[in-house]
Amino acid sequence: MAKKIGILTSGGDAPGMNAVIRAVTRSAIRKGFQVMGIKRGYNGLINGDMIELNQRSVSDIIQRGGTMLYTARCKEFRYEPGLQKAKQTCIDNGIEGIVAIGGDGSFRGAADLSARGIPCVGIPGTIDNDIDCTEYTIGYDTAMNTAVELVDKLRDTAQSHDRCSVVEVMGRNAGYIALNTGIACGATYIITNEMPYSIDDLIAKINDCLKTGKHHFIVIVSEGIGGSEEIAKEIEKRTSIESRATILGHVQRGGSPTVRDRVAASEMGYYAVELLSKGIGNRVIGMKDNKVIDVDIQEALKMRKPFDEDLFKLAHEISF
């Protein structure tokens, strides 16, 4: 049984990462482990930049966005010498297991280190929900709620001025934030990578709505599609509606995590320590039917998550 474990946050930050750090630290201490907080993702593992965490070090962080351990991308860790340095840091510091919170890239790193004898468990932390082995990723709910709050504000001004607001939301190449934000904000049109769309169809829909007395519009565009300025210009050119584009950007990554993120973070963190305490590594934690599960990392990286096409169709059915 491992007696000392490390925890790190890697890749893009997400609200709820701190809640995971807290859950992992406290669960591990309960089991009699020492916990090392490794700074700036895999960089800290290569450079030996870490601090010991006790139950008080993780006080007053459950409600905070960002990550107290900082996060980063680390090129060196992708190659053998970097991996060997990281392994040596673990050996030198008596670290017998790692919890890595991040996305697919971070899990590839976790698999590589597991293969070199340091068991690693990945926890999905990304606002984009673009990790295929899990229905839910830490930060997703908070990001959607932030996006909804901001789009609601844009709607107030779009309504007052009879405008169309074209809003670009995050999600990398995945349209999950766009779809759910679009439904929750009553968007007239949602554009994502997963589903076919056409500007002609969008223009026709706006023109039809204008005939029924609708004067303001919300169009949600996912980050993977981009080009929201051009879409707004096209709407303005081909309808009588003035249009403005807004790219919400990194504001969606910050803020205090929602209940859902805090609870999921706590459950996943606890579960990850359960695995490491049994010496099990090379696993990713996931959520299936609202239950915490674990999956082999290589299997996890091969999975493909379906897009909810029915929900997408529903969104367009009820917005006109």
If the CB atoms of residues 125 and 269 are measured against ligand ADP, the closer one turns out to be 125
Q: Please state the φ and ψ torsions of residue 67, each to the nearest 5 degrees.
A: -145, 125
Q: Please state the φ and ψ torsions of residue 13, each to the nearest 5 degrees.
A: -75, 160
If the CB atoms of residues 127 and 151 are measured against ligand ADP, the closer one turns out to be 127
Following DSSP, what letter does each residue of 81-114 receive, concatenated?
HHHHHHHHHHHHHT--EEEEEE-HHHHHHHHHHH
If the CB atoms of residues 42 and 140 are measured against ligand ADP, the closer one turns out to be 42
Footprint on residues 4-43 left by ligand ADP (CB under 6 A): 10-12, 41-42
If the CB atoms of residues 119 and 182 are measured against ligand ADP, the closer one turns out to be 119
If the CB atoms of residues 15 and 109 are measured against ligand ADP, the closer one turns out to be 109
Are the C-beta atoms of residues 11 and 106 closer than 8 Å to each other? yes
Q: Does residue 103 bind ligand ADP (CB under 6 A)?
A: yes
Question: Which residues have a Cβ under 8 Å from the Cβ of 92 and sit 6 or more positions away?
Answer: 48
Catalytic residue selected from 13, 128, 130, 294: 128
If the CB atoms of residues 291 and 304 are measured against ligand ADP, the closer one turns out to be 304
Q: Please state the φ and ψ torsions of residue 59, each to the nearest 5 degrees.
A: -70, 150
State the pairing for strand pair 291-296/242-247: unpaired
Shortest Å, Cβ 126 to ligand ADP? 6
Distance CA 264, CA 135 (A): 11
* Residue of the chain from 13, 112, 141, 168 that contacts ligand ADP (CB under 6 A): 112
Q: Does residue 105 bind ligand ADP (CB under 6 A)?
A: yes
* Residue of the chain from 4, 31, 78, 215 that contacts ligand ADP (CB under 6 A): 78
Q: Does residue 136 bind ligand ADP (CB under 6 A)?
A: no
Question: Which residues have a Cβ under 8 Å from the Cβ of 87 and sit 6 or more positions away?
Answer: 113, 116, 117, 118
Q: Does residue 106 bind ligand ADP (CB under 6 A)?
A: yes
Nearest to 171 by CA among 213, 217, 139, 211: 139
Q: Does residue 239 bind ligand ADP (CB under 6 A)?
A: no
Distance CA 182, CA 178 (A): 6
From 101-109, 240-248, 268-276, 288-296, give the range in contact with ligand ADP by CB under 6 A. 101-109
Size of the site for ligand ADP (CB under 6 A): 18
From 108-116, 147-155, 174-182, 307-315, give the range in contact with ligand ADP by CB under 6 A. 108-116
Annotation marks residue 104 as catalytic? no
Q: Nearest to ligand ADP by Cβ — which residue? A: 105
Which CA distances in Å does 242 have to 127, 179, 221, 232, 237? 31, 24, 17, 8, 9
Task: Give the residues lining the site for ligand ADP (CB under 6 A).
Answer: 10-12, 41-42, 73-74, 77-78, 102-106, 108-109, 112, 126
Active-site residue set: 128
